[in-house]
Structure 1
């Protein structure tokens, strides 16, 4: 009978990670030799230099964490903004008990485009984000010299008579101009197309329609006529003597 117990036991110990009985035993002075110690770092090695995140002469006093999370995205994540804020503040207090926290919710018009985090940064005045230029009213320019009216980049399609009517009222800023005065100033006494007072109202209505958003610069004075009052959005250009007929 062949004896195979020793090899089988050796294989078993190899599987269990135990020392095998078949391994040679260390004897003599080599058994007392200490194991080599782990190499220690060289005393001449330079330590890592501290990195400052702020310019010299300043000190860090805290940080801002912008969180972009719209209401729809929060609903998909099944989390409420209030709960998220509460847990973040609690975590901060746990890690840094001396920290002071302040939370602010950024609001934006419904349907506003762009990434949520960018909207938050703009709303909270992040100086690193370029603020969109505010839309300014281009205003209206009444050029009496060139006989034209510019509304922004567009030229209002006024007829010659409509411009004369506008000019006559504008040149008398702050004064009420009666309908009869307009007729006498803009039409000859024997003109075939000389209108009546009701027709003047029609001319003014057509003029206002072409002035668009600035239609109300020609105000109606009930029972008296019309008046123009100066406004910051209205610029009147004129050079030389008045082009009006007095």
Structure 2
């Protein structure tokens, strides 16, 4: 996926916790990934998740940090940890983890971001939501959406930028005759399955904490409408 659409304004890195303990002498065997003449002094784990997604999962960023620090201390009491929150402009496109890597100046992410894709690259990248043919293309590959998953995506797409609550989605997309009508908790499962099938572009369906879901169009998203107005469009 091309990251050229990401906002590259300076992102702020805000320390949120730090724990320092005496470093232990390294007794590990030679690591093949470490070039000759150097030694491994630690590692970086980039975690891509925004506050809304964390809340939808029943947690928050501070709790995730605390649990990861506790695990590191359990596995290696002599380890030192440092955690930071990566802040990026609201609405920056791309996967959360890619935004985090850019914000924290990860060399590999920066190198990829600086790459200017040629015409062939641009033709492969992006999402095409074809409402007339009832299909979604991800980098020119058809996404294997079920009928109900496409209906759910279409409902959000036709109300682009508007947050739709769970009750409205259920009432609009399921009839009384359906045998699998979800409730306001299980509708989240349907959304989660849809986002999983969107792969790298899952964040076009955003979770709005305490409110519902919203379709956010990015620069690499194209919506092809039908030739006549959809009866679902208001």
TM-score (norm 2): 0.46
| Structure with greater contact order relative to length (CA < 8 Å, sep ≥ 6) | 2
The structure with the largest alpha-carbon Rg is: 1
**TM-score (normalised: structure 1):** 0.44
